[in-house]
Amino acid sequence: MIYNLKRGTGMKKRFRDVADDIQYEDLVKMRKDIDNGGHHLRAFVDSKIKEIEREEVKVCAVCGTPINPHFIDDYSLVFGRYDFKKRAFFCGLDCLNFFIAKMKDKEKERLVRAEKPGSHIGELNSATDF
């Protein structure tokens, strides 16, 4: 399905229906781009996907409240390893603070487990600590 965001109607259309409205010259340009690796078409499709994902209603990671960015000031947090980032959305500062507190608790538990004798993680950490 393709979302009709420009007109603001929220009406969904299938690609086949939209293709009927594309002019011949644009179809020829699309075909040439596909023959040359499709870099421009891929970038266009990726940008449209990101645009739709930004417009979707998000859900608070803590309480599950739907977040509509047009009506609610929302918060987001990007976290995780550098090669695998995650994003969480929150409806308010209380939920964001709760989430961060739980993350701190989990980190403390992980460090306590790592310090126990016989733990491989603890041995690795002690070997790298100077």
Asked whether residue 19 falls in the same domain as residue 51, the answer is yes
% of the chain residues with pLDDT over 70? 73
Looking up tokens 């040439």, which residue turns up?
32
Asked whether residue 51 falls in the same domain as residue 68, the answer is no
- pLDDT tier for residue 114 given thresholds of 50, 70 and 90: confident
Range of the domain at 48: 1-56
pLDDT in tens, 13-56: 788 888 888 889 988 988 998 999 988 888 988 888 877 777 66
Asked whether residue 7 falls in the same domain as residue 44, the answer is yes
Asked whether residue 91 falls in the same domain as residue 120, the answer is yes
HSE of 15, CA atoms in CB hemisphere, 13 A? 1
Q: DSSP labels for 83-100?
A: TEEEEEEESSHHHHHHHH
10 pLDDT exceeds 80?
Answer: no
- pLDDT tier for residue 121 given thresholds of 50, 70 and 90: low
Position with higher pLDDT, 7 vs 90 = 90
The SS3 assignment for 114 reads helix
Asked whether residue 32 falls in the same domain as residue 65, the answer is no
Q: Per the structure, how many domains does the chain have?
A: 2
Asked whether residue 28 falls in the same domain as residue 7, the answer is yes
One-letter amino acid identity for 111?
L
Largest CA-CA distance found in the chain, in angstroms, rounded: 72
**pLDDT at 8 (0 to 100):** 45
**pLDDT at 11 (0 to 100):** 62
Position with higher pLDDT, 129 vs 72 = 72
Asked whether residue 38 falls in the same domain as residue 72, the answer is no
Pair of tokens at residue 16: 């086949």
Looking up tokens 């420009």, which residue turns up?
6
Asked whether residue 46 falls in the same domain as residue 62, the answer is no
Residue 90 in contact with residue 98, Cβ under 8 Å?
no
Asked whether residue 52 falls in the same domain as residue 107, the answer is no
Q: Rounded to an integer, what distance in angstroms lies between the CA atom of residue 36 and that of residue 56?
A: 33
- pLDDT tier for residue 94 given thresholds of 50, 70 and 90: very high
